[in-house]
């Protein structure tokens, strides 16, 4: 079911494409305007502002903590009745070292404060923390998208304390902070989100669609091309 949006889009593939295009422009604008430098790194208010900037033109709930329970597979993210308390606790978590920042990011990912757009907003939020505390950001272009998607699709807790450790291992590719590197990483970060969404859409293609005998990625390209995406 397609989320209600300000664009009047009723097709999930079209909405994913619009999200990718609009949020990327908004994110670049945040970097170029210096808005991110005015935000308090690691605060819930900064995450809300980032989400509002990214998705304000798309969703009425942009920048607002969700008021509905959400799940991914069999895992339910923080229940609404406990969400505000969870966010307060996350905000208080230390973030002075790389490992602390990653642990804080992981906990925010588990909380999933928004109905949609958690991944893009929290990745920028993480970079904001790392920029302040370490003067560095994640070089997202060096983060393998398949490893990343496999990790975020794991049910938190199924590998115990290793979840934080695996995130830290994956994100060890950090680099000196600069606008160009941040923007390059942002493009890769956005692509990860779109790639994940499109894989789910391909899985939902109506039965009877005649796929060519080609690898999955080529099937995806063909489907998108045929639908003008």
pLDDT digits over 159-213, tens only? 445 555 555 556 655 554 444 344 444 445 544 444 454 454 445 555 555 544 4
Could you give all domains of the chain from N- to C-terminal order, each with its CATH number?
12-197 (1.10.3290.10)
pLDDT digits over 50-97, tens only? 999 999 999 999 999 999 999 877 778 889 999 999 999 999 999 998
pTM value is 0.72
pLDDT digits over 84-94, tens only? 999 999 999 99
Distance CA 186, CA 216 (A): 25
Average pLDDT, the chain: 75
- Residue 229 near residue 13, CB atoms below 8 Å: yes
Distance CA 144, CA 171 (A): 10
């Amino acid at each position: 079911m397609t989320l209600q949006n300000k664009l009047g889009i009723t097709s999930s593939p079209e909405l994913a494409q619009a999200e990718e295009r609009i949020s990327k422009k908004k994110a670049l604008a945040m970097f170029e305007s210096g808005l991110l430098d005015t935000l308090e790194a690691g605060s819930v208010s900064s995450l809300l502002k980032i989400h509002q900037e990214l998705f304000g033109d798309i969703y009425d709930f942009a920048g607002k903590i969700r008021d509905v329970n959400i799940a991914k597979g069999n895992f339910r993210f923080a229940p609404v009745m406990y969400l505000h308390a969870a966010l307060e606790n996350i905000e208080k978590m230390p973030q002075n070292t790389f490992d602390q920042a990653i642990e804080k990011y992981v906990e925010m990912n588990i909380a999933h404060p928004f109905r949609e757009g958690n991944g893009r907003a929290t990745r920028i939020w993480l970079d904001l923390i790392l920029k302040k505390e370490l003067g560095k950001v994640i070089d997202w272009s060096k983060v393998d998208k398949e490893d990343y998607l496999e990790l975020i699709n794991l049910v938190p807790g199924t590998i115990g304390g290793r979840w934080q450790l695996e995130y830290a291992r994956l994100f060890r590719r950090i680099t000196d902070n600069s606008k160009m590197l941040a923007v390059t990483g942002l493009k890769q970060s956005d692509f990860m989100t779109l790639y994940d969404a499109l894989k789910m859409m391909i899985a939902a293609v109506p039965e009877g669609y005649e796929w060519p005998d080609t690898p999955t990625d080529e099937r995806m390209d063909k489907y998108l091309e045929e639908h003008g995406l």
